[in-house]
């Protein structure tokens, strides 16, 4: 009966128009929900792909503290774990980088030979090659932001000078320059991650140079980076390694290494979702007007149903279901159109970002079933709640007739 009331011709054409506007509003809101959520998914996947080239599969570091001894039985077990393919030692500290008459603070990352195998650093080389030691000279691989600020490129023959304060000595006030360790390296390559926290401050050097610069012994590291065997269950491997190294260490996957960034992205996504839901809720208010007018028009039908033995609960359910059908119909059409729009954008990139300074030309989109389900449930719930209010008029109609 709700279906007949919804699609049948009404005595007042305005009811049909308002019902159509209600369904159209819900449809447009659903399209917006699916499209916007898909864009957030696209940007999240894009940024995650950029980080993935620089971040290892798993990273082991201290829960509290800066450095630790990697020459222990626990880390030998980690290195020999059946799922660990490559094991890289890393030292990270802040230093002063000088080239010609320019200088800036940078994060110096000393990496062992396996770093190139642990990460996908070769895939993000913008200029030159990845090399921290060529057998004769120490080399440095720098972020493109550092290269731009200091005017460096791999084709120059002048070395970089790296300064770091001596950890084991007090500052000499009379001759402060003697309070710094100094190392030099030639620029072998420039990498591009398209993320400021990497491009604008990171300088990669050999592990031996970093240890000499920061006065660390041959067993001291800031973190351990691991390459896991393809096909291995990363979650299980992470749990096994955590049990080996103990509670003083944390084993982080790629997502956890950039946890703050991904948390912010998730928060932005769901705040946008709530804003769109609020707009959609306003659109569903049209259902109240449409259903109210229909109830008034069908007063005679309601009385006939009562005469035939229909109770108040059944009559309410009929009109409640009709209002809900308006929102569900709009949601289903919106989902279909939203999926089509997202797929068109995904394959043809019609909506452009504009300008030449972006990593991609068009808005990236990724369609997820969970977003479709959430959108449908949200619209269905709001449509149901909007239909509850006008159903109360049925009681009023009964009391007036009595």
Report pLDDT for 397.
43
- 16 and 93 both lie in a single domain: no
The DSSP result for 365-390, as a single string, is ----HHHHHHHHHHHHHHHHHHHHHH
- 246 and 155 both lie in a single domain: yes
Q: Which two tokens stand for residue 94?
A: 């802040």
Indicate the number of domains in the chain. 2
Identify the residue whose tokens are 């393919």. Answer: 85
- Chain-centroid distance, C-alpha 267: 10
- 249 and 193 both lie in a single domain: yes
Q: Which of 229, 254, 279 is the last residue of a domain?
A: 254
Which segments within 1-159 are labelled E, that is strand?
58-62, 68-69, 84-99, 102-111, 125-128, 139-143
- 13 and 123 both lie in a single domain: no
Report pLDDT for 148.
94
- 99 and 32 both lie in a single domain: no
Nearest in space to 190 (alpha carbons), one of 248, 247, 149? 149
- 31 and 64 both lie in a single domain: no
Q: What's the residue count for the chain?
A: 402
- 70 and 210 both lie in a single domain: yes
- 250 and 308 both lie in a single domain: no
Q: Which two tokens stand for residue 359?
A: 């990593």
Report pLDDT for 21.
75
- 249 and 270 both lie in a single domain: no
d(CA 372, CA 34): 6
- CA torsion angle for 8, 11, 12, 13 (degrees, to 10)? 50
Which segments within 284-323 are labelled E, that is strand?
none
CB of 172 closer than 8 Å to CB of 178: yes
- 244 and 364 both lie in a single domain: no
Q: Which of 254, 274, 299 is the last residue of a domain?
A: 254
Q: Quick one: DSSP state of residue 133? A: B
pTM (global) more than 0.85:
no
d(CA 183, CA 209): 7
Q: Which of 220, 254, 288 is the last residue of a domain?
A: 254
Averaged in consecutive runs of 10 residues, what is the pLDDT profile of the chain (402 residues)?
A: 49 58 84 91 81 88 93 94 95 94 94 92 92 92 95 91 85 70 94 89 95 93 95 93 94 87 86 88 74 63 63 65 77 92 90 69 88 90 77 51 46
Q: Quick one: DSSP state of residue 263? A: H
Nearest in space to 70 (alpha carbons), one of 58, 56, 88? 88
CB of 324 closer than 8 Å to CB of 316: no
Domain with 158, as residue range(s), is 56-254
Report pLDDT for 159.
93
Which segments within 192-243 are labelled E, that is strand?
202-206, 220-221, 223-228
3-state DSSP call for residue 129? Answer: coil
- 8 and 42 both lie in a single domain: yes
- 155 and 241 both lie in a single domain: yes
Q: Which two tokens stand for residue 60?
A: 């082991």
Report pLDDT for 12.
45
């Amino acid at each position: 009966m709700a279906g007949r009331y919804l699609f049948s011709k009404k005595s007042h054409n305005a009811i049909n128009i308002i019902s159509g506007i209600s369904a159209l509003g819900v449809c447009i809101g659903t399209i917006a929900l699916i499209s916007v959520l898909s864009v957030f998914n696209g940007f999240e996947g894009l940024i995650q792909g950029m980080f993935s080239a620089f971040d290892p599969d798993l990273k082991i570091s201290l829960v509290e503290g800066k450095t630790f001894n990697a020459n222990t039985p626990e880390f030998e077990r980690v290195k020999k774990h059946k799922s660990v393919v490559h094991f890289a030692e890393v030292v990270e500290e802040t230093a002063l980088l000088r080239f010609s008459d320019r200088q800036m603070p940078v994060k110096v990352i000393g990496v062992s030979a396996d770093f190139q195998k642990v990460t996908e650093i070769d895939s993000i080389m913008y200029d030159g090659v990845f090399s921290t030691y060529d057998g004769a000279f120490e080399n440095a691989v720098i972020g493109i932001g550092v290269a731009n600020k200091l005017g460096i490129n791999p084709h120059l023959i002048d070395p970089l000078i790296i300064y770091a304060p001596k950890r084991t000595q007090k500052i000499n006030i009379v001759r402060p320059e003697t309070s710094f360790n100094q190392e030099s390296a030639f620029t072998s390559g420039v990498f591009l991650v398209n993320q400021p926290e990497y491009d604008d401050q990171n300088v990669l050097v050999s592990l031996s140079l970093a240890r000499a610069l920061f006065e660390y012994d041959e067993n001291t590291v800031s973190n351990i980076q691991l390459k896991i065997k393809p096909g291995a269950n990363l979650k299980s491997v992470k749990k096994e390694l955590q049990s080996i190294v103990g509670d003083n260490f944390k084993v982080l996957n790629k997502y956890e290494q950039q946890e703050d960034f991904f948390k912010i992205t998730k928060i932005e996504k769901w705040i946008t979702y709530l804003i769109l839901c609020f707009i959609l809720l306003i659109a569903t208010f049209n259902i109240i007007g449409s259903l109210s007018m229909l109830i008034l028009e069908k007063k005679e039908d309601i009385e006939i149903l009562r005469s035939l033995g229909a109770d108040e609960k059944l009559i309410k359910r009929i009109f409640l279901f009709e209002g809900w059908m308006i929102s569900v119909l709009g949601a289903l059409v919106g989902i279909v159109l939203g999926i089509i729009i997202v797929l068109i954008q995904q394959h043809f990139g019609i909506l452009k970002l504009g300008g030449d300074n972006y990593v991609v030309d068009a808005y990236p989109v990724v369609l997820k079933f969970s977003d479709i389900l959430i959108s449908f449930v949200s619209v269905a719930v709001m449509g149901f709640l909007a239909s509850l209010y006008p159903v109360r008029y049925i009681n009023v109609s009964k009391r007036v007739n009595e």
